[in-house]
């Protein structure tokens, strides 16, 4: 990238980075360290655990223990955004991972999946379960699982998914939370019996300390957001599920009618896994973009510089601080940056104040509440034409809403007021 681009990044200006290393998917897919068979394995494992999920979380009974979110067309929101300026053509949908059962965020995909995979391994090793048996029987083994610890470092949402699921199974759940984490998330975790360790430092410090403490305990398992392939694959299952939802909406994804997906990005695991899952389904007919805060664009600086997780946003004079707590990450996952090198279309950055405006627009027009972090995705959609010289576009657009349904009412009211709307 040229000096002008890096000057804008350092000045915390909104930018768009277009990935010049993109390749046709059929060329790069065989060189990736993950594959479609791994996604299939993850999907089948989630199906096996569905009876247990139903027992532990009765709210999932209607879905048969499958944790999935609705895909909702947001025509009214699109109409208001269109009045504000040029927009891409095509229909606009919201993928409501903000309303996923149990954890209320996209982390209910990868986070819960990794807890379940480790649980399966322990159950097999100790003769508690066979693959062909009803996994619901594990609900009776809380005493066994209480011998083990499950730990994770988090800015909030990953800790929620790991903590809530682990505690429900009987594990000693410990979440190491950085200074960026919201107080209500800490309080909710503690109300579920989760131990929350607070750090005054940034996300990377919480992860490092959590990893170190877990390594000292042979009965502890650490969910590593920076390096975990299991987390990544849990997110990737979303691709096949989205395919069925689009079919139900009568939408075909093709070269003539491509799919554009905009996903908020923190360390990279969730957006990376989702992107990979979508590419496995639609290849070059899906175009995926990450969106990051201007003060914390860790994946952008990692990928644009070619240094992956070898570089921090502080190296570019940025604070790493943002109101979008789930995206307050200073150093990207090197694993995800590597997988995305030839797959990701590009990355947008967004100023914090726009997050509240999009939150208010969505609530005012379609009555849906998502948290500020999730609203980052709207910036990619709204800025596409500006950054692509107003190229004519056809296709379907999806804003991937990553969290928000568990926010306390008073928090929602404050956020909406900040964005110029009042909650009824």
Q: Given this structure, which CATH class describes domain 107-227?
A: alpha beta
Q: What's the whole-number average pLDDT of the chain?
A: 94
Closest CA to 44 of 125, 111, 113: 113
**How much is the pLDDT for 423?**
64
The CA-atom distances, in angstroms, between 37 and each of 40, 44, 277, 280 are: 5, 11, 11, 10
Fold type of domain 3-103+231-419: Rossmann fold (3.40.50)
**Predicted confidence (pLDDT) per residue in 45-89, tens digit:** 999 999 999 999 999 999 999 999 999 999 999 999 987 666 777
Domain-wise residue ranges, the chain:
3-103+231-419, 107-227
Contact by Cβ (8 Å): 298, 9: no
Report the alpha-carbon distance of residue 271 to residue 298 in Å, rounded: 13
Report the alpha-carbon distance of residue 253 to residue 258 in Å, rounded: 5
Report the alpha-carbon distance of residue 83 to residue 345 in Å, rounded: 27
pLDDT average, residue stretch 144-150: 98
Contact by Cβ (8 Å): 395, 258: yes
Report the alpha-carbon distance of residue 346 to residue 331 in Å, rounded: 18
Which residues, in sequence order, are bridge partners of residue 18?
Answer: 346
Q: How confident is the model at residue 90 (pLDDT cuts 50, 70, 90)?
A: confident
Q: Token digits for 144?
A: 């066994």
Report the alpha-carbon distance of residue 197 to residue 354 in Å, rounded: 31
**Predicted confidence (pLDDT) per residue in 243-289, tens digit:** 999 999 999 999 999 999 999 999 999 999 999 999 999 999 999 99
pLDDT above 60: residue 297: yes
pLDDT above 60: residue 392: no
**Predicted confidence (pLDDT) per residue in 329-368, tens digit:** 999 999 999 999 999 999 999 999 999 999 999 999 999 9
pLDDT above 90: residue 312: yes
**How much is the pLDDT for 202?**
82
Contact by Cβ (8 Å): 272, 110: no
End-to-end Cα separation, the chain, in angstroms: 47
Domains 3-103+231-419 and 107-227 are alike in CATH topology = yes
pLDDT above 70: residue 424: no
**How much is the pLDDT for 384?**
86
DSSP state at residue 403: B
3 state DSSP class of 291? strand
* Residues comprising the chain, all counted: 424
Contact by Cβ (8 Å): 52, 135: yes
**How much is the pLDDT for 203?**
82
Helix residue spans in 70-106 (DSSP H): 75-83
The CA-atom distances, in angstroms, between 390 and each of 1, 15, 61, 93, 378 are: 22, 16, 46, 21, 17
**Predicted confidence (pLDDT) per residue in 129-138, tens digit:** 999 999 999 9
Provide the edge-to-edge strand list for the sheet that holds 259-264. Answer: 16-18, 346-350, 286-293, 259-264, 396-401, 91-96, 71-73
Please, how many CA atoms are within 13 Å of residue 369, restricted to the half-sphere of its CB?
A: 19
Closest CA to 183 of 410, 402, 351, 416: 410
Contact by Cβ (8 Å): 406, 373: no
Q: Token digits for 341?
A: 């090198």
């Amino acid at each position: 990238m040229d000096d002008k681009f890096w000057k804008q990044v350092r000045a915390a200006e909104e930018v768009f980075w277009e990935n010049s290393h993109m390749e046709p998917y059929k060329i790069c897919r065989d060189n990736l360290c993950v594959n479609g068979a791994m996604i299939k394995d993850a999907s089948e494992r989630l199906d096996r655990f569905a009876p247990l999920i139903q027992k532990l979380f009765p709210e999932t009974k209607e879905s048969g223990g499958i944790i999935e979110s609705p895909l909702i067309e947001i025509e009214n929101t699109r109409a208001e955004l269109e009045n504000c300026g040029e927009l891409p053509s095509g229909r606009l949908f919201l993928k409501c991972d903000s309303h996923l059962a149990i954890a209320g965020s996209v982390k209910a995909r990868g986070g819960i999946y990794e807890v379940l995979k480790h649980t399966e391994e322990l159950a097999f090793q100790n003769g508690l379960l066979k693959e062909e048996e009803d996994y619901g029987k594990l609900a009776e083994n809380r005493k066994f699982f209480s011998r083990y610890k499950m730990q994770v470092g988090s800015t909030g949402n990953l800790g929620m998914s790991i903590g809530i699921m682990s505690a429900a199974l009987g594990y000693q759940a410990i979440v190491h939370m950085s200074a960026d984490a919201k107080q209500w998330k800490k309080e909710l975790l503690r109300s579920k019996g989760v131990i929350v360790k607070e750090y005054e430092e940034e996300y990377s410090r919480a992860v490092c300390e959590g990893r170190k403490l877990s390594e000292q305990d042979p009965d502890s398992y650490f969910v590593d957001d920076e390096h975990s392939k299991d987390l990544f694959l849990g997110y990737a299952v979303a691709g096949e599920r989205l395919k069925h939802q689009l079919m139900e909406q009568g939408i075909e994804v093709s070269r003539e009618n491509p799919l554009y997906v905009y996903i908020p990005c923190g360390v990279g695991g969730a957006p990376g896994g989702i992107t990979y899952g979508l590419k496995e389904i639609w290849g070059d007919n899906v175009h995926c973009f990450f969106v990051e805060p201007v003060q914390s664009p860790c994946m952008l600086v990692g990928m644009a510089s070619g240094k992956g997780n070898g570089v921090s946003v502080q190296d570019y004079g940025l604070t790493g601080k943002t109101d979008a707590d789930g995206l307050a990450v200073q150093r990207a996952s090197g694993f995800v940056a590597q997988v995305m090198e030839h797959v990701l279309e590009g990355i947008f950055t967004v100023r914090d104040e726009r997050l509240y405006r999009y939150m208010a627009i969505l609530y005012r027009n379609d009555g849906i509440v998502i948290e500020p972090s999730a609203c980052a995705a709207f910036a990619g959609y709204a800025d596409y034409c500006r950054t692509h010289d107003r190229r004519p576009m056809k296709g379907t657009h999806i804003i991937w809403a990553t969290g928000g349904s568990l926010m306390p009412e008073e928090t929602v009211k404050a956020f909406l007021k900040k964005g110029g709307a009042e909650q009824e």
